[in-house]
Amino acid sequence: MFYRASLQAAAALASLSLLAGCGLLPGGGSNVEQKLAVGTTSSPSTLDPAAAWDSSWELMRNVFQTLVSFPTGSTSPEPDAADNCRFTDNTSTAYRCELRKGLKFSNGDTLDAEAVKYSIDRIRSIAVKGGPVGMLGSLDRVETKGDDIVIFHLSKPDATFPFVLATPAMSLVAPSAYSKNKIRDDGKVTGSGPYLLDAYKAGDRAELVRNPDYKGFANRKNDAVTIRYFKESAALVPALKKGEIDATYRGLSAEEVVSLEDNTDKDSDLQIVENVGADIRFLVFNPKDPAAGNPAVRRAIAQLVDRDALVAKVYRGTAEPLYSMIPKGIAAHTTSFFDRFGDPDRKKAKKILTDAGITKPVAMTFWFTTDRYGSSTAPEFAELKRQLEASGLFRITLKSKPWKTFQEGFTKGEFPVFGRGWFPDFPDPDNFIAPFVGKDSVTGMPYVKDEITKELLPQSRKESDRGAVSKQFERAQEILVDDVRVLPLWQGKLYVAAGEDVGGGERALDPQTVMQMWELYRKANW
């Protein structure tokens, strides 16, 4: 995906806008049609919400609706396709939504309560491995009352359920256009969002035009957006300079960000907006691999990785070391991996291995994706290889694939160790623990841990005050450190670069770190 917070609510992304522009207004009162082009290295892996638990959400947020959503600046889910939603009991097990009047899909079908039920039920009936079905673990059944009322009955208390409904994975689709048992793969979309998908070419571009029938929270400041998908981030800034695109998000290299922030490129008239991010990067270990499945090997790697050097050499201040799966800025963040392993130490790593009977260098293959997280990914893994091999305790082979085949590989368990990124579904500590445990872990590696899934998460989900769940999540982080099935590496910042005549970049990323294209506009004089 990935993405992207106050300490309590951790929802409203603070933005530091470096964009200039006094005496300018969206559209400037002009009747000229507002058309923009936005570039990114993060192309969708699917156009069907039932299969999407990655940054395919970027496009989906703009062409589909959800019952509730996260407008910029919101601290909790607010109505979108719904007119209002609320829990109807004191145990957080029945969530009722009443739809807006007059909603319809882009094919003319009515968006009613049955369409909502159909959209959510098909996620569970299709049950894509590694897909969003894992987010609906607390849902028992969906009930409709008349055309406008939907009630979600939960099998257990879950105060985070409204946050789940606000994710693009829960996008509403037209039943006549989407099979209940099969993913749609014709390259088309039938939704009710702010934009219509006028044309789409996988890996190349998506053409969005204003949806004349849209009824929701989005205040569209442009009429059309072309999203261009770049295979290499190195092409993004040149495309901006040439005017081929007006803005870019995801994929800027650290060097490009630093250059733009310091204005070291004197010939550039580009601007940049820095957004506080909650996106994280981490390694995933396959428990079925002979080496990666050995806890001693995983702990030795955890003892050797030098996050400070990694961030300094590769990311140059555009990221910071991360010692927990819950990042800074999210309630219950700790430094659990540092508390356990401390600074990188070869002697301690060697002892971990020798105590487990391992006396020869461990040969392992690390995998990463070439086109999901930007051009710094390859240098990052080269630095990890350098660090581990410098200890004399490991021999690392690096391999990579484009995201689509990479995703297929890790969901099939083909990779012993691989790199992943996580852009939050919603800004709550639950979303940095729950997706990585259980049979349907988003990593593709089942990780059954009953204390987390049967005790800690259920306890925390009874608490509507999400700032009061630290005890449960601190314990969950201790368990993750014990097992080292995932190893957090760093936490990033998010940047939107744009031409000086483009505004709205400081509002374009919602609390899920998903790009809201409707916030961008071309500035015009008074």
> Token pair of 519, please?
């916030």
What is the token pair recorded at 74? 């919101």
Question: Which band of pLDDT confidence, cut at 50, 70 and 90, is reported for residue 525?
Answer: low
Among the residue ranges 23-37, 184-198, 511-525, the one predicted with the least confidence is: 23-37
221 pLDDT exceeds 50? yes
Segment of 137-151, 494-508, 511-525 carrying the highest mean pLDDT? 137-151
Q: Of the spans 12-21, 268-277, 360-369, 436-445, which averages the highest pLDDT?
A: 360-369
pLDDT tens sequence across 174-213 = 999 999 999 999 999 999 999 999 999 999 999 999 999 9
Q: Note the pLDDT of residue 281.
A: 96
Would the pLDDT of 13 be above 50? no
Give the residue from 371, 48, 404, 373 showing the smallest Cα distance to 197: 48
pLDDT tens-digit map of 89-141: 888 899 999 999 999 999 999 999 999 999 999 999 999 987 899 889 899 99
Alpha-carbon separation of residue 506 from 19, 87, 247, 316 (angstroms):
8, 33, 12, 22
Within 10 angstroms of residue 50's Cβ, the number of other Cβ atoms is 28
pLDDT, tens only, 332-345: 999 999 999 999 99
In this predicted structure, the answer to whether residue 10 has a pLDDT above a threshold of 60 is no
The whole-angstrom separation of Cα 378 and Cα 368 is 8
Q: What pTM does this model have?
A: 0.75
Does residue 265 register a pLDDT over 80? no
| pLDDT at residue 268 in the model | 64
- CA pair distance 184, 54, nearest whole angstrom: 17
Share of the chain above pLDDT 70, in %: 91
pLDDT of residue 88: 92
Give pLDDT, residue 27. 46
pLDDT of residue 483: 97
Closest CA to 429 of 323, 277, 326, 279: 326
Report the C-alpha gap between 80 and 95 in whole angstroms: 15
- Give the separation between CA 162 and CA 395, rounded to whole angstroms: 46
Amino acid at 180: K
Nearest CA-CA partner of 278 in 457, 429, 434, 504: 429
Residue 71 pLDDT class (50, 70, 90 cuts): confident
Specify burial of residue 47 (Cβ count, 10 A radius: 0-12, 13-18, 19+).
buried
Q: Residue 317: is its pLDDT beyond 60?
A: yes
Residue with tokens 């990114």: 40
Q: Is the pLDDT confidence value at 247 over 80?
A: yes
CA torsion 446→449→454→457, rounded to 10°?
Answer: -90
